[in-house]
Amino acid sequence: MVSISCLKKNFKIGLVLGITSIVVSLLYFRKVYVSPVMNRRIWRKNDLEIDKDPTSSNSYQIDSDLVSRPVVFRGTMPNELQNRTRLLHRTYLNSTTSQEHCPERIEMDDIVRDNIPEELYRVASEVFDHMPTKFLDGFRSPCWKVKSKLTCLPSFMLTGVGKCGTTDVWDKIVAHPDIVVTGKEPRWWSRFRVGRDRGLYNPFPLSWYANQYNKLGKAISEARDSNKAKKLIAGDGSPSNYWDNVVWKTTLTAACQNLTTPRYVVADVIRTVLPKIKILAVFRNPTSRLYSDYNFDNRSCTPEFFHDSVTESTRTFDSCLATSTRKECVFKFFSEIYEADMARKPRPKGKLGMNPIMRLFKGSYSVFVTDWLRAFPRDQVFFIKMEDWHSECKTMLPNIYQFLDLEPIPKQKTDEICNKKQKNKTPGTKAKGSMLPETKQLLDKFYEPIRKDLAQILDDDRFLWNN
């Protein structure tokens, strides 16, 4: 028989091993998952504090109907960004009642870049001030040297709207051997550049965005074949670049002139500093996209709840359309979302615990396409219909590579890429059932003018989604 002392000894050893295993697992979890989030929150907390002293020279007062306490920026945030962000928000929030904060004209002769309209410069002065005006010759990627380090930016952007299949398209495009795989969605141009992230406004500088492509610069620098190095490129797969202009009214000119729509958007900024970048835009039938979007972010969504939310949202939007253009309504709701963020108030929510208006107007494809095609030549933008992508990937993928000026790959490799499992497919939709017929009819009617406008702009009847 095994002695009691031996059992106790084995129990102690097992207990120690078990505790050690748990501690190691917790430390790993903290390092990989918790620390990055906490560090980011600490950075924001230090940079954006509520000052109890309204007389502080570092504070500014927001309208009392929005928030009663002044906001103070502290910590690692550069002074010039503090000042600019403070002035932008103060001017916007006071623009409806006072024009005293409207700025003097900028002396454009002092600006590094030539031929930039003053209003465009105000949209993204930090980009125009710090982005190189010329990149290194001989590379497909826009690169420059920072001391001895090669710094590069993406050569193409994959845009669109959530649940249009951008993740699947991205996954298959970056399988090309000349594409250096980086994170899909840095979301810098439309969000982190202006600091917008879950209601907090701390701008991330250009250096942060460039750091997302360190892998590209390293791959080019370490490539043994110089010809191979010159061909390497990377992409930015942030769908929000295409549609998200929530902070458009923080530009001083827009605030002071009380514009109803912006003269310049994210597309104009990108085209000015990266004039050769290629744009890929993925669209899906807006009716089915909206249903998938709801199901993806709210797993408890039922067809009945979805119908109630759609009815409420379309009614709200239609009431705006009675007195304004569709573009004016879209940007009006952008402004309301921004105001809720700045006031530290919850965003307007529907019955499904989300902002149904934003999800609805994200399907206003023609509004956003018009801005992008105003900024970019038509031959620099490649439009993808998601439904065709799933059925014709083996034909479309080579066309996309040709559009990106990449060398063709063997047909066998193309087939292998396209046969991969679809990425980021919304789970559980079949179990919940299709949307109600009356909901589909309501949404088809709502989106009909948008589909017609898009098909006319692109001169392509596929985007009518009649079938």
**115-142 mean pLDDT:** 89
Q: Establish how many alpha carbons lie within 13 A of residue 339's alpha carbon, considering only the half-sphere containing its beta carbon.
A: 19
Residue 436: CA count within 13 A, CB half-sphere: 14
CA gyration radius, the chain: 25
Cα 164 from Cα 286, distance rounded (Å): 9
Q: What percent of the chain has pLDDT over 90?
A: 50
> Is there a contact between 203 and 77 (Cβ–Cβ < 8 Å)?
yes
Token representation of residue 323: 């007195």
- Residue 116, pLDDT > 60, answer yes
The H or E element that residue 119 is part of is helix 118-123
Say whether 185 sits in a helix, a strand or coil: coil
pLDDT (0 to 100) of residue 108: 54
- Tens of pLDDT, residues 12-29: 677 777 787 787 777 665
pLDDT single digits (tens) 79-109? 444 444 444 444 444 444 344 445 566 555 5
The pLDDT of residue 117 = 86
The pLDDT value recorded for residue 433 is: 81
Confidence check: pLDDT of 72 > 80: no
pLDDT at 62 over 60: no
User: Model confidence over 38-55: pLDDT tens digits?
Assistant: 433 333 333 333 223 333
> Which has more pLDDT, 227 or 1?
227
Can you give the pLDDT at residue 345?
54
Where helices occur in 160-282 by DSSP H, the ranges are 166-173, 206-211, 214-222, 226-231, 240-243, 252-256, 266-273
pTM above 0.85, yes or no: no
CA–CA separation, 163 vs 239, rounded Å? 10
pLDDT top residue among 130 and 4: 130
The SS3 assignment for 265 reads coil
Q: Which residues contact 408 (CB under 8 A, 6 or more apart)?
A: 398, 401, 402
Q: What is the mean pLDDT of the chain?
A: 79
CA 237 to CA 185: how far, in whole Å?
Answer: 5
pLDDT-derived band at 245 (thresholds 50, 70, 90) equals confident
- Locate 439 and state its tokens: 């909901």
What residues contact 444, with CB distance under 8 A and at least 6 apart?
Answer: 287
Q: Report the SS3 class of residue 309.
A: helix
* H-type alpha helices, 275-407: 286-297, 303-321, 326-342, 356-361, 365-375, 386-403
Residue 363: what pLDDT? 95
Instruction: Give residues with Cβ within 8 angstroms of 375, minimum separation 6.
Output: 265, 267, 268, 270, 271
**Alpha-carbon span 193 to 186, nearest angstrom:** 10
Question: Which 8-state DSSP code applies to residue 380?
Answer: G
Q: What is the mean pLDDT of residues 114-118?
A: 80
Q: What is the pLDDT of residue 424?
A: 73
Find the length of the chain. 467
Q: How far apart are CA 96 and CA 397, in angstroms?
A: 49
Average pLDDT over residues 142-148: 92
